[in-house]
Structure 1
């Protein structure tokens, strides 16, 4: 059975409280911040980008399990903020972790579900026998224009998920997707910040696609929400995943371990991979995990995952890398001016 053989997450240490963003923009800023349910968000350091965070996440994953570098046949990096318009992030990541030359490497884009699309691709390559191991990464230094609602949540971070058939710590029982042409969020070539459809991004975008993929998964697997110990839904804010989980019949306790967004913000392509990582940090053998990502434009990928005994065996050392909870702890807080400097909103001429 193909599944997750190791994983690792990375979150920058810098933070800004959303109340500090609201203080700068005044007016309805505090109301926006409170409504999103995000108290603070991560901020990349001056020398951090999608590539550096992807490398750190992959290195943490490899610290937990020593995967032979020459057996990593694919590396895919899903992101909305690749440092280069023309130059693959995946090739640099592969070189940095000693996995080159790999069989295939590419950068993925599908808004916030690029990371889960990479997982599906790695699953297919492993199942076909073309590769032994594949590395799927979702990471972003998310963009939000000054004063826009996105600025209260757009953060930085990501996770690396290694896929293989060799004694996985979590078997992926099934995956399916739900996609339509729903333009709720976009950024044209050359534009610095994305634009969005406001409330349209909720309905009929996020909620329609999350529910579409989730219902498809439950139908195909013949399961109910109560059959799962944990559930992870794309978390652009705290409000959306909480609401959609209730609509589908999942409980607050099921989504709690993977819901990092109140203290992390929206890591875009990294949101669901980080949620998977946070859940695997606490999961036990036999636990079943329901996952549904969302990417604007729009589509959702769903996964049915069962944790195996290998997560507590000698082949895997969960303690060899920091947990998501540990990465979220002890943040270094910035005021708005330093935050704007870190994000490149203000630069020296």
Structure 2
């Protein structure tokens, strides 16, 4: 029996800071915003973290398909900003959305691809008939040191996907992963901000892994880029997904609906999954979507997805991704720094 996405939900905080405002403070990097093609990014409120974002995204996923949370047998939460070093995010989310206590839960970390790893875990359990539904999430309130290039893109947001066998909004036809030990990005325990390996970030990190996973899946599925109506690639900034798509033979039209990073920034574990949600918001039954995530350290998960008939029934029952682009509130750098906890006593 086919396995795939029964429902999905997203949440993005309403606060924003414009890249030009960050550039105003760090004047020596005024060209950074334009080169990254990120105009503004989302900022969490004082009482928002990876948990609250995950809860809202999960509630939207349940609401979208009118799912009884008692059906969920597994919760996997991917993030690199879990608020507790020792205390699972997944149990808090489960309690908040009212799941039955007879379930398995775990937090996952693999930089920005932990959310797609959560989907793979749920696919395995559902395919084996061990659970009815699995809840996979990618959620982050990502960090960037003041003045660092990451500060222009590190944002907040998350997505939740209910994985099951019945009433599919989209079937996951297959996936392929490519993983190596490439030290392009890391954060040691207790350190407030991540570091990145400069020359390893682009070609050895992002492009090698996304390209390898994409080509591996196309070969496995015996497909070509033209077989897909849409494509979503991990969005650390606005230029990398465009560049990798072009190099692999995907068109600008295929990636445009899911390319949301210029307006919300890089939501890390939520990045590719929010892009997928934005694509599901507009896709029609029968359309095919290619998805490739990327996580530093480093790895990429690629998926072939076929949109099902149920998408038309559930699409408008919860906020769409671009609904979160409206009624936003802009912050200056001082208030943004306060929101992000950059000011410490």
TM band (smaller chain): over 0.9
SS of structure 1 residue aligned to 2:112:
coil
**Could you say which residue in structure 1 is the equivalent of 2:58?**
58
1: CA distance, partners of 2:30 / 2:13: 25
2:166 counterpart of 1:166 = yes
Tell me if the contact between 1:75 and 1:102 (Cα under 8 Å) persists in the aligned partners.
Answer: no
2: CA distance, partners of 1:209 / 1:69: 35
**Could you say which residue in structure 1 is the equivalent of 2:338?**
341
Shift of 1:330: 2.2
Tell me if the contact between 2:62 and 2:69 (Cα under 8 Å) persists in the aligned partners.
Answer: no
2: CA distance, partners of 1:71 / 1:64: 15
Tell me if the contact between 1:94 and 1:102 (Cα under 8 Å) persists in the aligned partners.
Answer: no
Q: Identify unmatched segments of 5+ residues in structure 1.
A: none
Shift of 1:68: 2.0
2: CA distance, partners of 1:325 / 1:267: 15
**Could you say which residue in structure 2 is the equivalent of 1:3?**
4
SS of structure 2 residue aligned to 1:157:
strand
**Could you say which residue in structure 1 is the equivalent of 2:328?**
331
**Could you say which residue in structure 2 is the equivalent of 1:151?**
151
Backbone CA RMSD of aligned residues: 0.8
2:122 counterpart of 1:122 = yes
Deviations 1:101-124 (A, max 9, x none): 142001000000000000000000
SS of structure 2 residue aligned to 1:209:
helix
SS of structure 1 residue aligned to 2:47:
coil
Q: TM-score, normalised by structure 2?
A: 0.99
Shift of 1:156: 0.2
Matches within 5 A, 1:97-246: 97-246=97-246
**Could you say which residue in structure 1 is the equivalent of 2:21?**
20
1: CA distance, partners of 2:75 / 2:270: 15
SS of structure 1 residue aligned to 2:207:
helix
Tell me if the contact between 2:23 and 2:33 (Cα under 8 Å) persists in the aligned partners.
Answer: yes
SS of structure 2 residue aligned to 1:123:
helix
Shift of 1:100: 3.5
Q: Identify unmatched segments of 5+ residues in structure 2.
A: none
The change in CA–CA distance for 1:259 and 1:325 in structure 2 (over 3 A counts) is: same
1: CA distance, partners of 2:228 / 2:118: 24
Q: TM-score, normalised by structure 1?
A: 0.97
SS of structure 2 residue aligned to 1:318:
helix
Superposed structure 1 runs of 4+ greater than 6 Å apart: none
2: CA distance, partners of 1:303 / 1:102: 29
2: CA distance, partners of 1:198 / 1:56: 35
SS of structure 2 residue aligned to 1:5:
strand
SS of structure 2 residue aligned to 1:257:
helix
Aligned residue pairs total 344
SS of structure 2 residue aligned to 1:167:
coil
**Could you say which residue in structure 2 is the equivalent of 1:80?**
80
Tell me if the contact between 1:3 and 1:170 (Cα under 8 Å) persists in the aligned partners.
Answer: yes
SS of structure 1 residue aligned to 2:310:
helix
